[in-house]
Amino acid sequence: PTLVNQIAAGEVVERPASAVKELVENSLDAGATRIEVVLVEGGQALISVTDDGSGMGPDELALAVERHATSKLPDDDLVHVRHLGFRGEALPSIGSVARLTLTSRARGAAEGWSLSVEGGAKGRPVPAAISAGTRVEVRDLFYATPARLKFLKAARTELSHAIDTLERLAMAHPAVGFFLSDGSRALVKLAAEKAGDLAQARLNRLAAIIGRDFHDNAVPIDIERDGVRLTGWAGLPTYSRGSSGHQYLFVNGRPVRDRLVVGAVRGAYQDVMSHDRHPVVALFLELSPDAVDVNVHPAKAEVRFREAGAVRGLIVSGLRHALAGAGH
């Protein structure tokens, strides 16, 4: 099974940022309200994710690192998934290419437990001290697969990818607190947004990440067509934040990347913003789960829309309408 898991790891865990995504999604699935990430040497030396979620007992810990042992079975088919994870692949994959330790205490349980996996070899659960919730530690990522280790970039680069991944997840979950440090410095500090109104909580969270001035430089979008709803904010054409990295897209609550949407945003702004500048936008699309495939690839956050042209059209109109309403 170690080899099978290492092959799966190649798909699921490409770099520290993808491990961070998998572990933080597990914390979110476990109902965490506070998630703390530590990355040492860009995550290659250590990735640690601690949450205050449901936690696991000793038997669940042992199961969690088994291949295809997911506790999150979909209701009917893979398209209708309630949770972020469902393949039961992330932990065994990580355990096959790194030194993995899970420490957890189930809610209401008197005692915590810890279990380690090294290069695919699974240990036994042993009692451990921890408050309720789970800590997953990944040490020496890719030590067991030197060929993959070579593909890691400088620690600074890996760190910035991991921060970007965490910030995108944080935008999708404003009621959860997210924290990240490199072991000495706090690099992400996002306290849970208390606003009861989802739109307000989202805007506050976006501003906490993009910049406080986003509040005064963005106009709301809210448009619906043929069962597809688009909400979010369009940055004013006069507002930009340097490089092109400030376009955020969420489909049914998940951060995704999509070329079609990048093109639609460019199209919507082309007449109102000079070409050397990049608009700041955050778009939240809600549509029927069978109108979109968000699991094209286990790790890459790509999507495939069934009605791609209609989605593109909705985004262009939504952005143009919002900007025109603001006099642009």
Rounded Cα distance between 131 and 112, Å, is 8
Instruction: Name 273's Cβ contacts closer than 8 Å, sequence gap at least 6.
Output: 237, 240, 279
For ligand ADP, the binding residues in 21-50 under the rule CB under 6 A are 22, 26-27, 30
Kindly indicate which of the ranges 51-59, 190-198, 253-261, 280-288 contains the residues binding ligand ADP, using the contact rule CB under 6 A: 51-59
Q: Does 54 bind ligand ADP (CB under 6 A)?
A: yes
Task: Tell me the closest approach of the beta carbon of residue 56 to Mg ion, in angstroms.
Answer: 13
**CB-nearer residue toward ligand ADP: 2 or 71:** 71
In whole angstroms, give the CA distance from residue 182 to residue 170.
18
Q: How many CB atoms within 10 Å of residue 275?
A: 8
Residue 86 makes contact with ligand ADP by CB under 6 A: yes
CB of 221 to ligand ADP, least distance (A): 32
From the list Mg ion, ligand ADP, none, which binds 51 (C-beta under 5 to 8 Å, kind-based)?
ligand ADP
Cα 120 to chain centroid distance, Å, stands at 25
Rounded Cα gap, residues 205 and 257, in angstroms? 19
* Residues numbered 55-114 forming contacts with Mg ion, rule: CB under 5 A: 85, 90
**Strand 281-286 relative to strand 247-251, pairing:** parallel
Applying CB under 6 A, does 70 fall inside the site for ligand ADP? yes
Q: Which two tokens mark 40?
A: 């040492």
Cβ proximity to ligand ADP: between 3 and 243 the closer is 3
**Rounded distance between C-alpha atoms, residue 79 and residue 292, angstroms:** 9
Residue closer to ligand ADP by CB (options 9, 282) is 9
Residue in 88, 120, 177, 279 binding ligand ADP, rule: CB under 6 A: 88
> What gap in Å lies between CA 323 and CA 59, rounded to an integer?
54
Question: How many CA atoms within 13 Å lie on the side-chain side of 117?
Answer: 28
Does 134 interact with ligand ADP (rule: CB under 6 A)?
yes
**Smallest distance from the beta carbon of 90 to Mg ion, in angstroms?**
4
Is residue 103 near ligand ADP by the rule CB under 6 A? no
**Is 64 among the residues that bind ligand ADP (CB under 6 A)?**
yes
Binds ligand ADP by CB under 6 A, chosen from 2, 33, 71, 181: 71
Asked whether the beta carbons of 42 and 152 are under 8 A apart, the reply is yes
26 binds Mg ion, rule: CB under 5 A: yes
Burial class (CB in 10 A: 0-12, 13-18, 19+), 257: middle
Give me the residues that bind ligand ADP (CB under 6 A), please: 22, 26-27, 30, 51, 53-56, 64, 70-72, 85-91, 134
Q: Which residues bind Mg ion (CB under 5 A)?
A: 26, 85, 90
